[in-house]
Amino acid sequence: MNAEFDPSVGTAVGRSTPKLENREKVTGRAEYIDDLYRPNMLHAAILGSPFAHARILSYDVSEALAAPGVVGVITGDDVPAGRMGAFIKDEHALAKGKVLYLGEPVAAVAAETLEQARAAVNLIRVEYLELPAVLSPEAGLAPDAPILHEALADYIKVFDAGSTGNLCSRTELTEGDVDAAWAGCAVIVEGEFTTQAQAHVAMEPCGALAEMDAQGRVTLWSANQSVFRVQANVCESLQLPMSRLRSLTPRVGGGFGNKMEAHIQPLTVALAMKTGRPVKCVLTREEDFEIVRARHPFRIRMKTGADAEGRLIARECEVLLDCGAFADDSPGVMGYALLMSGGPYRIPNQRATGKLVYTNKLRFGAYRGFGNPQVSFASEQQIDEIARKLSLDPIEMRRRNLLQPGDGWFVGPKVASNGLSACLDAVEKASAWGRKPDAKPGTRRAKGIALSAHISGLLGTGAIVRMLEDGTISLNTGATDIGQGSDTALAQICAETLKVPVEMVSVASPDTDGSPYNWGTTASRVTYTTGRAVAGAAGEVLRQAMGHAAEMLDVPVEDLELREGGRIAIRGSNTDLPFAAISGRAHWAKGGPIVGSHTLVFDEPTHDPKRAIALGLPFPRIGVFSFAATVVDVEIDEVTGQARVTEAWSAVDVGRAINPRLVDVQIEGGFIQGMGFALYEEMVWDGPKLANPSLLDYKVPTSADSPHVHSIIVEDPEPSGPFGAKGAGEIGLNPVPAAIANAVGAALGGVSHDLPLTAERLLPRIIEAEHAA
Amino acid sequence: MSFVLSPRTVEEAVGLLAELPDALPMSGGASLVAMKNARLIEASHFVSLAGIASLHGITATDTGLRIGGMTRHAQLAACDLLTGDLSMLRQAAGQIANRVVRNMGTIGGAVGNADPAADYLAVLACGDAHVELTGTEGSRLVAMTDYVTDWYETLREPGEIVTAIHLPAARPVPSVYRKLCRVPGDYATASVACASDGDGVRVAVGACGHGPIRSREAEAALRGNLRDPVAIAAFGAALADLADPVDDVRGTSEFRLRLIPRMVAAAISDLEGKR
Amino acid sequence: MHLEGEFTVAAPRLTVWQAVHDPALLARCVPGCEEAAQIGENSYRAVVKAKVGPISARFTLVVDIVEEEAPDRLRIKAQGEEGSRASMLTAESELALSDDGDGRTRVTWASDVNLSGRLGKYGLGLMKKKAESLSAEFVTAFSRRVETGEVVE
Amino acid sequence: MPGKQVFTLDLNGRETEVFAPADATLLDVLRDNCALRAAKRGCNQGVCGACTVMIDDVPVRACLTMAGACGGRAIRTLEGYGDDPVMGRLQEAMNASGGVQCGFCTSGLLITARNLLAESPRPAQAEIRSALSGNLCRCTGYVRIVEAIASAAEEVAR
């Protein structure tokens, strides 16, 4: 897609403008959290728990305090009793009373140098009473299971979904009459699927820097996806008024969900308050694996039925999620996974149920896709399985069942724009679907396809647009750009609304003191929701500017129009005023400086509460739907069973691409992350201990094993979106494991029940196929 | 606190190692410094071998090749002298880690460290290489097939350094290095080095035990039967019988045992194709 | 890390039972054991050194017999840390003795070992191999010493 | 202070003296003592590539290089490429292509790419992918990075 010659492209929106901060990044001058230093700053190190589950009986920090360079030590005794959490407030700033996973921070030291802090941490004595550990959700539900959160009933719950014992939440969604529907099915497929824990591995490990001023007010810089969630989490856990904490962000070295909720910001703030000096705490890569968060392992039981023509009649999905030690975003992930378990198809009878269980592992939480890749892995394979039984081509099978424009989603959400069919057409054509790839000797090769839908939206957001004295524009949204380019896309929306060049718009860094609230860079939401706020705020600036111009030119507002370059003109005339003149008047003569603001919370009621039984969905109002279709060409080595993706095509309906190149990269980057998840990325536990918390043992895709990904942008404008845009951040990842599994199924026969699809898992299937032949 | 010392001669280096009981030799540093960063090792000094001229370079000798211990993986991956039955060494060197780390790591360091999953050991065992170990008492040669004695344990005594690898002169017959790894540059899940040898083959398996696995008896039994799938299967099974693989994040022991005969057969078939 | 095994000692069950309670004897059988002493009725303290290639560690361990049914069954918990406390080792083991005829005793054992801290982050497979070979060394030494009547008490 | 020593480094063409712990790595010294922070600490194990710098015109990992082993060797970090036209092309191509997302891997990646173009002025796609395999990027999926290097190579060759 060549944006330069697209007639629908505006002056700013629709152009592949390079990202605003690229120059500092290509010259090495971008500053991430570990690049920040404050005068008199201390360095922190963390002591992790050696047990997965234990009571803390006592601490002795005397030796550590006496060690060279040590200025302060904190333990659970030093932090207030407050608890934080997005859904259930179950987590202290630092372990208090109990430890709930191996590696959980139990104490921290601030010292003059990092080496001194690391040496001193080992001098802290903690006496524990070890308790039996819960290492799987199944074990957590056993009648005599040890209980992790003994006071669970008393915790504050933002969203209460039947928490009891180790059951963190449960959800059931239903539509139609599934039990009765099976009788009418000509084909029924059923299977159990498991997916593994995936680590985010943002290239930048998590870190924070906190400093308290003379008034006792704390300034906190951290690697995050939301300065506001950081503020909320720190203040809840440390029982501070939110006005006493200012949360900021330097450049962020990637975040795929892991930097959304708190990591070590609360304990860093506690250390800064204890020592009265600035404290920086940056995790090692190993700690980043061990104590932040990861993608939930799922166990999925799924059953799907269709009639003899391949029309889907019923789907049942039951999931069991490992929550880890703290609820974090898990209830949301489970609810969302269930909502997406039917996929983008018309299925009249559906039931989805889930249980989320606390275990003594690090917390699982938000990770790009938010439960969708896991259920899609099961769902999309069952679509292929039915197609095989009915001798239908997988694409034909899908066409017969596609969610059509005008159709609603499972349990009621409205779907406005729907470019799914166009996505399917696009990948079918681009990948030459009908042509079977030639396998090299010693390999098996096949194509696979999967579809996906994903929601962008949710919760509060805002924007403030100011016209500066000279007519240039300052945009402030509070949305953290984690590298994906939201600052640029939002500047483009602002520039387009005001018809000024993008270079005339500056974007403020998120700051809880000065930025309007933004829930966060998550849920594929910034372009869609914050973009709406930006368009609204810029529109307000324009309205005010028009008012000034009308007075200045002495014509009714209705006679004015906005022209390129930021000029307001009398229709049909050459008479116009530049923004500079208007803003000058507003600043110095009349009316006051021009400031526009707009806030919103996604407010379409999107599901029928009666169909989300009692403990249903965590998000009553959720968002708008993007769609995707992905085709992969997979080659499997017959000697070892190792699968490689040789080429991929991914079409995504993003409503309107504000910046097409940035959308391409979301599709491509999402694809490769999904490929790693599908083929080899796996966090492995040896009993209670994470066995591969390093990049030596946990592998992510490299340039050499990543295929060329053909990204295809489909634009079916979303009526509520800014210039028709909707989200693109996660959807590119969702269908990837399923598409790869479907290619493997086409090459080797059968269904892939377990991720990742390692050589070890595929080799027996090759041997079986050899024997069969 | 490890101080770096930079001797200019081998004698000076082994003298320092003898004098300083808590010192460790450091060649490229790729593994050693990574271990230091992870706080897995403590040493009073790192005796850097980088500045010792005699450890650099690949030279032809009366019997074949002498590869200096400080020869970097990148140099071996591009070395024109590694042809015929030594081309497997060139292939293996080119698959270690990545381009940048190959500029750092050395063959002496890799052999000294003797990581069972590292790429050289199988190739050197297959290539009938000898390890030149030098201490204060002088140098000695140890056959690669005998060199590794246990997990990360070798015949190298503390205070000795790997000064060179000796290989017989290249013969104009094909050789191949096959490696299964999760992503390019990862340590091997399993690897096989295979070189033509008249009407037979020399084969060594890597990453499936504490050291490379080679069986001259099994090679003798296979001689003359390279087109017989049953004989090849029996050969692979014999090597698998000698294996003692770990269970780790790269694969289970069972998987590796299953891989050995398949990778061995594939390597032999690669050679047939190259003849 | 789960380890298990069984072995036979050419000695009667009671002799073996006494042997597994004898710190001095055990100290001589545990590879790398530098000292061992009884510090309570069912409590022992030992210093053990272990080495894998260039990586070495010295652990001070407290070993508690947490359950016993003489002379059949024994459950032991061991916990220890390095001098620098950079890593920590915990192990829970179960030992069962049974008559194997001809005055021989069969020992069946299982152990769950957990190593955290600096040594717990890398090389799981290798650690298990090392633990297995240390176990084998222990079994050989233990059987030999018990069979040659080296039981102190 | 015990365990500290003076290192004399040839850094971006300037002789630089730093006083740092004896067992400091080059990455420690660059970041903590020299305020040269283009090289990033992504793993400290030599895997991620974010700390790649040039020593004697060969790209290496700063995290795996002992500062004490750098004496007499010419160290060049991304900050030292201000006057290098080839690096300039690479930077411009990365900026334009979409190959820069979070940017954390970008500095190390540019050093590796610069060395690739020195050794292979018109690398094929597969060669670029192979050369970059030790510079991990979690954001882009590599497509635009490969494209950027190929296009920079074309421009330089022209």
Percent of chain C whose predicted confidence (pLDDT) is above 90:
50
Q: Which amino acid is at A604?
A: E
Residue D57 contacts B where some CB pair is shorter than 8 Å: no
Interhelix angle A330-339/A372-389, rounded to 10 degrees, is 20
Tokens of A203: 């290239």
**B194 touches B205 (CB < 8 A):** no
For the cut 60, the answer to whether the pLDDT of residue D31 exceeds it is: yes
Helix (H/G/I), strand (E/B), else coil: A391: coil
CA-nearest residue to A679 within chain B is B182
Residue A284 contacts C where some CB pair is shorter than 8 Å: no
Helix (H/G/I), strand (E/B), else coil: A33: helix
For residues B77 and A325, give the distance between their C-alpha atoms in angstroms, rounded to a whole number: 48
Whether A3-30+459-601 and A407-451+625-773 share one fold: the answer is: yes
For residues C23 and C45, give the distance between their C-alpha atoms in angstroms, rounded to a whole number: 9
**A650 touches A427 (CB < 8 A):** yes
For residues D52 and B94, give the distance between their C-alpha atoms in angstroms, rounded to a whole number: 19
Question: pLDDT tens-digit profile of D109-127?
Answer: 999 999 999 999 999 999 9
Pick the CATH number of A3-30+459-601 from 3.40.50.720, 3.40.630.10, 3.30.365.10, 3.40.50.170: 3.30.365.10
**B26 touches D69 (CB < 8 A):** yes
Chains contacting chain A through 3 or more C-beta pairs under 8 A:
B, C, D
Q: Which amino acid is at D33?
A: N
Q: How many residues does chain A have?
A: 773
- Report pLDDT for C27: 87
Helix (H/G/I), strand (E/B), else coil: A467: strand
Inter-chain residue contact D139 with A483, CB threshold 8 Å: yes
Nearest residue to B10 (alpha-carbon basis) of B116, B206, B161, B204: B161
For residues A480 and A485, give the distance between their C-alpha atoms in angstroms, rounded to a whole number: 10
- Which H or E run includes C66? strand C55-69
CA-nearest residue to D49 within chain B is B100
How confident is the model over D23-30, as a mean pLDDT? 97
- Report pLDDT for A2: 37
Which is higher by pLDDT, A2 or C5? C5
How confident is the model over B164-188, as a mean pLDDT? 97
Calculate how close chain B gets to C147, using CA atoms only, in Å.
28
The reply to whether B58 and B22 lie within a common domain is no
Q: Are strands B45-48 and B148-150 parallel, antiparallel or unpaired?
A: unpaired
How confident is the model over B160-178, as a mean pLDDT? 97
Inter-chain residue contact B34 with D112, CB threshold 8 Å: no
**D46 touches B15 (CB < 8 A):** no
Question: pLDDT tens-digit profile of B28-60?
Answer: 999 999 999 999 998 999 999 999 999 999 999
How confident is the model over A283-292, as a mean pLDDT? 97
Inter-chain residue contact A689 with C114, CB threshold 8 Å: yes
Give chain D positions within 8 Å (CB) of B101. Answer: 46, 61, 64, 134
Q: Which amino acid is at A523?
A: A
Sorted by sequence, the CB contacts under 8 Å of residue B229 that are 6+ apart come out as B265
* HEC per residue, A556-587: CHHHEEEECCCEEEECCCCCEEEHHHHHHHHH
Q: Is the dihedral angle over the CA atoms A74, A75, A79, A82 positive or is it negative?
A: positive
Sorted by sequence, the CB contacts under 8 Å of residue A610 that are 6+ apart come out as none
Nearest residue to A219 (alpha-carbon basis) of A249, A181, A183, A176: A249
Beta carbons within 10 angstroms of residue A749's beta carbon: 12
Give chain C positions within 8 Å (CB) of B250. Answer: 125
Mean pLDDT for all residues in chain A: 95
Question: pLDDT tens-digit profile of C87-141?
Answer: 889 999 999 999 998 899 999 999 999 888 888 887 778 888 888 888 999 999 9
Question: pLDDT tens-digit profile of A390-449?
Answer: 999 999 999 999 999 889 899 888 899 999 999 999 999 999 999 988 999 999 999 999
Q: What are phi and psi of C105, to 5 degrees?
A: -125, 135
Give chain B positions within 8 Å (CB) of D114. Answer: none
Inter-chain residue contact A204 with D39, CB threshold 8 Å: no
For residues A333 and A169, give the distance between their C-alpha atoms in angstroms, rounded to a whole number: 11
For the cut 60, the answer to whether the pLDDT of residue A4 exceeds it is: no
The reply to whether B30 and B74 lie within a common domain is no
- B142-146: list long-range contacts, CB under 8 Å, 24+ apart: B144/B212, B145/B204, B145/B212, B145/B214
Calculate how close chain C gets to A122, using CA atoms only, in Å.
5
pLDDT band per the 50, 70, 90 thresholds, residue A158? confident
For residues A201 and A255, give the distance between their C-alpha atoms in angstroms, rounded to a whole number: 8
- Report pLDDT for C153: 44
- Report pLDDT for A10: 67
For the cut 90, the answer to whether the pLDDT of residue B137 exceeds it is: yes
- Please state which CATH number belongs to domain A33-133+218-284: 3.90.1170.50
Q: What are phi and psi of D21, to 5 degrees?
A: -55, 140
Q: What are phi and psi of A695, to 5 degrees?
A: -75, -10
Structural fold of domain A407-451+625-773: Aldehyde Oxidoreductase; domain 4 (3.30.365)
**A426 touches A419 (CB < 8 A):** no
**Of the given ranges (A195-204, A288-297, B219-228, C20-29), which has the lowest mean pLDDT?**
C20-29
Beta carbons within 10 angstroms of residue A190's beta carbon: 12
Question: pLDDT tens-digit profile of C37-66?
Answer: 999 989 999 999 988 888 888 999 999 999
The reply to whether B60 and B141 lie within a common domain is yes
For the cut 90, the answer to whether the pLDDT of residue A773 exceeds it is: no
Tokens of A86: 């997005």
Helix (H/G/I), strand (E/B), else coil: A387: helix
The reply to whether B133 and B237 lie within a common domain is no
Percent of chain D whose predicted confidence (pLDDT) is above 70:
99
How confident is the model over D73-101, as a mean pLDDT? 97
The reply to whether B218 and B112 lie within a common domain is no
Inter-chain residue contact C1 with A102, CB threshold 8 Å: no
* Residue-range domain boundaries for chain A: 3-30+459-601, 33-133+218-284, 407-451+625-773
Q: Is the dihedral angle over the CA atoms D4, D5, D6, D8 positive or is it negative?
A: negative
- pTM metric for this prediction: 0.96
pLDDT band per the 50, 70, 90 thresholds, residue A610? low
Q: How far is CA A588 from CA A55, A468, A521, A594, in A?
A: 65, 12, 37, 11
**B194 touches B232 (CB < 8 A):** no
Q: Is the dihedral angle over the CA atoms B131, B132, B133, B137 positive or is it negative?
A: positive
Helix (H/G/I), strand (E/B), else coil: A470: coil
Estimate to the nearest angstrom the gap between the alpha carbon of C18 and the chain centroid: 14
For residues A657 and A711, give the distance between their C-alpha atoms in angstroms, rounded to a whole number: 12
Q: Which residue has the tokens 């017969």?
A: A400
* Residue-range domain boundaries for chain D: 4-80, 83-157
- Report pLDDT for A607: 62
Q: Domain residues for B25? A: 3-48
Give chain B positions within 8 Å (CB) of D46. Answer: 30, 33-34, 97, 101, 104
How confident is the model over A119-127, as a mean pLDDT? 95
CA-nearest residue to D53 within chain B is B100
- Which H or E run includes C117? strand C105-117
Instruction: For residue A351, list its beta bridge partners.
Output: A174, A316
Question: A402-419 burial string, b = 16+ CB within 10 Å, else e?
Answer: bbeeeeebbbbbebbbbb
**A731 touches A373 (CB < 8 A):** no
Which is higher by pLDDT, A616 or C70? C70
Chains contacting chain D through 3 or more C-beta pairs under 8 A:
A, B
Q: Which residue has the tokens 């944006």?
A: A3
**Of the given ranges (A378-382, A603-607, C49-53), which has the lowest mean pLDDT?**
A603-607
- Report pLDDT for C126: 84
Q: Which of B149, B168, B187 is the last residue of a domain?
A: B168
For the cut 70, the answer to whether the pLDDT of residue A291 exceeds it is: yes
What architecture is the D83-157 domain classified under in CATH?
A: Orthogonal Bundle (1.10)
Q: Which of B138, B168, B198 is the last residue of a domain?
A: B168
Estimate to the nearest angstrom the gap between the alpha carbon of A185 and the chain centroid: 37
Instruction: Choose from A122, A697, A698 for mutation: most chain C CBs within 10 A.
Output: A122
| DSSP state letter for B55 | G
Nearest residue to D121 (alpha-carbon basis) of D131, D106, D136: D131
**B212 touches B154 (CB < 8 A):** no
**A87 touches A166 (CB < 8 A):** no
What architecture is the D4-80 domain classified under in CATH?
A: Roll (3.10)
Of B180, B183, B185, the CB nearest to A640: B180
Question: pLDDT tens-digit profile of A214-242?
Answer: 999 999 999 999 999 999 999 999 999 99
CA-nearest residue to B48 within chain D is D69
CATH number where B181 lies: 3.30.390.50
Sorted by sequence, the CB contacts under 8 Å of residue B24 that are 6+ apart come out as B2, B32, B41, B43, B45, B46, B47, C54
Inter-chain residue contact A693 with C121, CB threshold 8 Å: yes
Instruction: Choose from A201, A285, A640 for mutation: most chain B CBs within 10 A.
Output: A640
Question: pLDDT tens-digit profile of A680-694?
Answer: 999 999 999 999 999
The reply to whether B57 and B161 lie within a common domain is yes
- Report pLDDT for A160: 76
Nearest residue to C39 (alpha-carbon basis) of C63, C16, C60, C67: C63
What architecture is the C2-147 domain classified under in CATH?
A: 2-Layer Sandwich (3.30)
Q: What are phi and psi of C49, to 5 degrees?
A: -110, 135
- Report pLDDT for A742: 98
Calculate how close chain A gets to C145, using CA atoms only, in Å.
34
Inter-chain residue contact C114 with A694, CB threshold 8 Å: no
Instruction: For residue A126, list its beta bridge partners.
Output: A59
Question: Could you say which residues from 523 to 582 on chain A have a Cβ atom under 8 Å away from some Cβ of chain D?
Answer: none
Question: Could you say which residues from 706 to 735 on chain A have a Cβ atom under 8 Å away from some Cβ of chain D?
Answer: 706, 708-709, 711
Inter-chain residue contact A669 with D100, CB threshold 8 Å: no
Of D22, D67, D134, the CB nearest to B101: D134
Inter-chain residue contact C53 with B246, CB threshold 8 Å: no
Helix (H/G/I), strand (E/B), else coil: A526: helix
Beta carbons within 10 angstroms of residue A598's beta carbon: 20
For residues A123 and B121, give the distance between their C-alpha atoms in angstroms, rounded to a whole number: 41
Question: pLDDT tens-digit profile of A693-731?
Answer: 999 999 999 999 999 999 999 999 999 999 999 999 999
Inter-chain residue contact A698 with B249, CB threshold 8 Å: yes
Give chain A positions within 8 Å (CB) of D91. Answer: 26-27
For the cut 50, the answer to whether the pLDDT of residue D36 exceeds it is: yes
Cis peptide before A516 (omega within 30 of 0): no
Calculate how close chain A gets to B167, using CA atoms only, in Å.
30
| Alpha helices by DSSP H, A108-264 | 114-121, 137-141, 178-181, 227-238
For the cut 50, the answer to whether the pLDDT of residue D44 exceeds it is: yes
